[in-house]
Amino acid sequence: MFRGQLPRIYELSDLIATPAPAGAYFHNLNASLAAIPQKLKQYRDIEAELQVLDYDAWACLKAKVEPDLKRKDALRAWEQAFNTLNEAKGYKYLVSAGYSDIRFIPVSGQSTPDLEAFEGSRRILCEVKTINRSDQQRETFARNEVFDVVDQLDEGFFTKLECSLNNAAKQMRAYCSEADTRRIAYVIINLDDILHEYADRYRVQLESFLVSKKPSDIEVVWDIKPPFYTSQL
């Protein structure tokens, strides 16, 4: 029903055997998209990002995400699969910035950044990091309890963010230590504030955090959904 609109989403769905094993994603895909307009909108947004990938990049990302689509975490469900798909956002950013020879770096025995590109002869590295909702928010939601949303990011969030940025810097330095290498951490923020009601206020806090906490040899690009994104159609 929606395959023509979402060809790469359906390619991912085709990776799951029929009948789908327990713990696999994409159960009742057609029916759920027809019943939930907001889900269809979000999948269209993901499809648009996946469409930016060239043939080789898409093949690489599809192979990487396949195992994540077949296992469900007790608390975080298929979050890791979406973390992996988020690497397409970094690829799209590099395309929009006008870089050339963009590719996913093959996973090896050592920790490597996700993407490599070039600006003339200058090497560009990009590590995509996703900061997801807290365990507390997930547990509260699972119990159908009300989660209090505040307009200030807490210390735990910033501790997690600082660790992610430091790890991104280490991965990129280890892969290439050339002095003129441009290193970009592309950071997707999924807030405990599900509606992202306070997204604009959080962005101010994030920029303030960077002044003193960002590793000096990386750039940070934020990817934060706008206020009330999840309620938009």
Tokens of 51: 């469409």
Average pLDDT over residues 86-113: 94
Question: How far lies 59's CA from each of 48, 104, 136, 140, 191, in Å?
Answer: 16, 10, 36, 37, 30
pTM of the model as a whole: 0.92
- Which pLDDT score, from 0 to 100, does residue 146 have? 58
Model confidence at 233: pLDDT above 70 = no
Select the more confidently predicted residue: 205 or 191. 205
Band the pLDDT of 143: cuts 50, 70, 90: low
DSSP class of residue 196 equals -
Mean local confidence (pLDDT), 43-51: 96
User: Is the separation of the CB atoms in 53 and 61 below 8 Å?
Assistant: yes
Using CA atoms, how far apart are residues 167 and 186, in angstroms rounded to an integer? Answer: 13
* CA-only gyration radius of the chain, Å: 18
State the chain's mean pLDDT as an integer.
Answer: 90
Distances from the Cα of 68 to the Cα of 34, 39, 98, 120, 146, angstroms: 25, 20, 31, 35, 29
Tokens standing for residue 211? 């002044």
For residues 185 and 221, is the Cβ–Cβ distance under 8 A?
yes
pLDDT band at 107 (very low <50, low <70, confident <90, very high): confident
pLDDT tens readout for residues 144-162 = 665 677 889 989 999 999 9
CATH number of 102-233: 3.40.1350
| 2-42 confidence digits (pLDDT tens) | 999 999 999 999 999 877 777 789 888 899 999 999 899 99
Domains of the chain by residue range? 1-85, 102-233
* Mean pLDDT to the nearest integer, 119-141: 86
Helix axes 155-175, 199-213, angle to 10 degrees: 50
